[in-house]
């Protein structure tokens, strides 16, 4: 059973994808909180309780990469999983440079995604 003290934070602007990830996490027994933008996430102060972050790369406003860089600069070390509909080598390389523990192109395999969430939480 997943550690119920650690919330998964989802930052995804596409409401349908956000709901799909929430359903997947619910089925896996995880607690989560979700946001439609990086700015909403920062305003809520949710970084302090994040066991793992699931960040869309291409968000309106502050991108997932920009958000992760800000979190790193402020000393936050929660594991991050990047998701994107626009996969390319440059994005994969950047995700690795800024500390992602996993990287998924949408749509992705739910079982593999949950396995990576568990792995990220164990390493946290």
Domain that holds residue 26: 7-123
Q: Is residue 117 in some structural domain?
A: yes
Q: In the prediction, which pLDDT does 100 show?
A: 95
Domain count of the fold of the chain: 1
Residue 1 is assigned to a structural domain of this protein: no
3-state secondary structure the chain: CCCCCCEEEEECCCHHHHHHHHHHHHHCCCEEEEECCHHHHHHHCHHHHEEEEEEECCCCCCCHHHHHHHHHHCCCCCCEEEEECCCCHHHHHHHHHCCEEEEEECCCCHHHHHHHHHHHHHHC
Q: Which residues of 5-17 are buried (b: 16+ CB within 10 A; e: fewer)?
A: ebbbbbbbbbeeb
74 domain residue, yes or no: yes
Say which CATH number the domain at 27 has: 3.40.50.2300
Q: Provide the pLDDT for residue 4.
A: 43
Give domain status of residue 13, yes or no.
Answer: yes
Average pLDDT per 10 consecutive residues for the chain, totaling 124 residues: 67 97 95 96 88 95 95 91 94 94 95 95 78
User: Is 58 among the domain residues?
Assistant: yes
Residue 69: the pLDDT is 95
54 within some domain: yes
2 is a domain residue: no
In this structure, the dihedral spanned by the alpha carbons of residues 46, 60, 76 and 96, taken in order and rounded to 10 degrees, is 140
pLDDT score recorded for residue 79: 94
C-alpha count within 13 angstroms, C-beta hemisphere, residue 87:
9
pLDDT in the model for residue 46:
85
Residue for token digits 């164990």?
122
């Amino acid at each position: 059973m997943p550690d119920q003290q650690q919330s998964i934070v989802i930052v995804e602007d596409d409401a349908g994808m956000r709901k799909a990830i929430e359903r997947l996490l619910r089925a896996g027994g995880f607690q989560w909180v979700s946001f439609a933008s990086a700015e909403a996430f920062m305003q809520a102060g949710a970084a302090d309780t994040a066991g793992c972050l699931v960040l869309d790369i291409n968000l309106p406003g502050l991108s997932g990469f920009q958000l992760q860089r800000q979190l790193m600069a402020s000393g936050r070390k929660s594991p991050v999983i990047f998701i994107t509909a626009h996969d390319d080598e440059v994005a994969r390389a950047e995700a690795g440079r800024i500390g992602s523990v996993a990287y998924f192109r949408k749509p992705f395999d739910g079982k593999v995604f949950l396995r990576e969430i568990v792995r990220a939480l164990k390493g946290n």
